[in-house]
Amino acid sequence: MRDGSEERRRAGEMRAVLLSAFGGLGKLRVSRSATPEPPRRGELRIRVKACGLNFLDLMVRQGIIDNPPKTPLIPGFECSGIVEAVGPDTAGFEIGERVMAFVNYGAWAEVVCAPLDFVYKVPDAMTFPEAAGFLVSFVAAYVMLFEVASLREGMSVLVHSAGGGVGQAVAQLCSCIPRVAVFGTASLSKHDAIKDSVTYLFDRTVDYVQEVKKISPEGVDVVLDCLSGEDTGKGLALLKPLGTYILYGSSNMVTGERKSFFSLAKSWWQVEKVNPIKLYEENKVVAGFSLLNLLFRQGRGGLVGAVVQKLLSLYNEKKIRPVVDSLWALEEVTEAMQRIHDRGNVGKLILDVEKFPTPLMASDSTESSEAGEDEEDQEGDDDDKERVPFIQ
């Protein structure tokens, strides 16, 4: 256990990543705050071991999400750890059990309280970092492929950012079904690492519509689009009759460390207007998917719970396994986020609550990193030295 954690525990305090205001990387820092109250009815309190860092967390940091919550806040939507206390009506869970959970903000802390409906037991073979990176990517990939697009033998799927958390989950789930062809786009730097996980891989900068059509003139059965609708026209053009296009992300709205009103406006302007009559004529399906809304606004915890159990069966049969890109201390959260901004990750970035920050090397710059240069980000930004990350 990390030094000082016993002392913090006795004082009723915890370390947590705090987002002081929406903006650049400098708005994040690790703080000491009071641990959550004892768990309420139907809640478990979890001593967190690891937390998943998703693309969505970059968007939260910049404040480019629907209904942004008020700052300061503790970010994070998923974690794994050990049940530390149980509230009333929590039959089925015991203190000391290894669990993973969806959290509606607040996951990046040493202690988290979560309702029973969003907590799942972790198989013995699964590590805490794997468990922390399992839920968001795999549940999103599963629901889109099987609940929305009814993926079956012999179908074909196009996925962008194929090397990322969701992209790798999509690739693994597709490999569970016979003869499913996966067409993926990704930055060239990742191609060596991921080429075996997809059937056809394209550089993200090429005209993928032409490339897919060279291989499959009829197109594909499923298009998974996390580019905010900018590519809806291309995705629809690539669909075979009865094919399904699913919009599930807005990665292209993030054009740098800070929110750019210009790129937001450009993205919004470029979103294709879909004509239902054309869909009818061409036999095509257009869908949207948001896991967090499904869980936290639309009350579909039961559906998601059933999906998690199917995914855990696939994990136990060794058919799927979360790909962990790298582990970072809470204090390294800005470097971890920078790695996503730089499009460097293959699989999931994980915040390891018990990890110590990698020591600064003598040769490291003592100047502020880029993250701290902006005037807007000076406040509370006292830890900007570059670190050599520990990469698994």
Ligand X SMILES: NC(=O)c1ccc[n+]([C@@H]2O[C@H](COP(=O)([O-])OP(=O)(O)OC[C@H]3O[C@@H](n4cnc5c(N)ncnc54)[C@H](OP(=O)(O)O)[C@@H]3O)[C@@H](O)[C@H]2O)c1
76: left (phi over 0), alpha (psi -120 to 50) or beta: left
List CB contacts of 265: < 8 A, sequence separation 6 or more: none
Kindly state the smallest distance separating residue 241's Cβ from ligand X, in Å: 26
- CB 118 → ligand X: shortest distance, Å? 15
Q: How many CB atoms lie within 10 A of CB 386?
A: 17
Among 93, 146, 289, 390, binds ligand X (CB under 6 A): 289
Token pair recorded at residue 167: 């992209």
Distances 11 to 4, 14, 85, 196, 380 between C-alpha atoms, Å: 11, 9, 17, 50, 24
Q: How far is the CB of 351 from ligand X (least distance, A)?
A: 14
Query: Residue 107's closest CA among 19, 199, 239?
Result: 19
Of 101-109, 117-125, 174-182, 283-291, the segment contacting ligand X by CB under 6 A is 283-291
Q: Which of residues 15-34 bind ligand X (CB under 6 A)?
A: none
Residue 102 as a binder of ligand X (CB under 6 A): the answer is no
Strands 111-115 and 43-53: antiparallel
Binding mask 238-277 for ligand X (x = CB under 6 A): ----------xxxxx-xx----------------------
**Residue in the structure block whose two tokens are 């257009």:** 286
Give, in degrees to the nearest 5, the angle at Cα 174 between 156 and 190: 90
- Minimum distance from CB of 125 to ligand X (Å)? 23
Q: How many residues bind ligand X (CB under 6 A)?
A: 31
**Chain residue whose CB lies nearest ligand X:** 164
Say how far apart CA 311 and CA 381 lie, in whole Å. Answer: 40
Which listed residue (86, 112, 114, 186) binds ligand X by CB under 6 A? 186
Considering only residues 54, 90, 267, 369, which one is a binding residue for ligand X as defined by CB under 6 A? 54
Q: Pick one of 163, 219, 243, 389: the residue that binds ligand X (CB under 6 A).
A: 163
> Helix or strand or coil: residue 14?
strand
Comparing CB distances to ligand X, the nearer of 85 and 274 is 274
Residue 249 CB, nearest approach to ligand X (Å): 2
As measured in angstroms, the least distance from the Cβ of 357 to ligand X is 22
DSSP string, 222-282: EEEE-BTTTTHHHHHHHEEEEEEEEE--BGGG--SSS--HHHHHHHHHHSPPP-HHHHHHH
Q: Please report whether residue 232 would count as binding ligand X according to CB under 6 A.
A: no
290 belongs to the binding site for ligand X (CB under 6 A) = yes
Contact residues for ligand X (CB under 6 A)? Answer: 54-56, 136-137, 140, 161, 163-167, 186-187, 190, 204, 226, 248-252, 254-255, 289-291, 340-341, 343, 345
